[in-house]
């Protein structure tokens, strides 16, 4: 687990079950879990069945955790970007150089977009919705 302080935002990055952090958040009645999904999790796409399936899992996990935390001040957020610059393109055998640069988002911009409007003080009671399509 890594920790970094950046202004008002305290970030802890972990890999594993969300239940590793949610009990502490719940006992403090404060915290935020941000899950990184993808718009590809909303629909099936040829040659991306496994990747899309794992992102659909992240979407459903987030929805379930939002319901579990609905009586608390704990925020569970799904970030579902579209085309983001990362190594996944090369891993899937589709070089990033083949992607139209006008549709690409840097990982930094993706993080900034996820944080826009989220103050950590307000909690939306709405289910995740599609805001972008590939």
What's the CA gap between 106 and 83, in Å, rounded?
9
DSSP alpha helix (H) spans, 29-118: 49-68, 88-91, 107-115
Catalytic residue among 19, 47, 51, 122: 51
Catalytic residue among 55, 121, 122, 123: 55
What's the CA gap between 80 and 86, in Å, rounded?
14
Residue where the block lists tokens 């900034």? 112
Q: Is 55 a catalytic residue?
A: yes
Q: Is 57 a catalytic residue?
A: no
Q: List active site positions.
A: 51, 55
């Amino acid at each position: 687990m890594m920790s970094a302080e950046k202004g008002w935002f305290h970030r802890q990055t972990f890999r594993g079950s969300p239940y590793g952090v949610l009990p502490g958040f719940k006992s403090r009645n404060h915290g935020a879990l941000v899950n990184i999904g993808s718009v590809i999790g909303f629909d099936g796409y040829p040659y991306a069945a496994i990747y899309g399936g794992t992102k659909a899992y992240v979407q459903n996990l987030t929805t379930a955790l939002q319901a579990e935390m609905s009586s608390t001040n704990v925020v569970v957020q799904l970030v579902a970007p579209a085309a983001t610059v990362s190594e996944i393109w090369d891993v899937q055998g589709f070089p990033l150089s083949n992607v139209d640069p006008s549709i690409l988002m840097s990982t930094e911009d993706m993080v900034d977009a996820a944080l826009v409007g989220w103050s950590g003080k307000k909690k939306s009671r709405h289910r995740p919705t599609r805001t972008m399509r590939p």
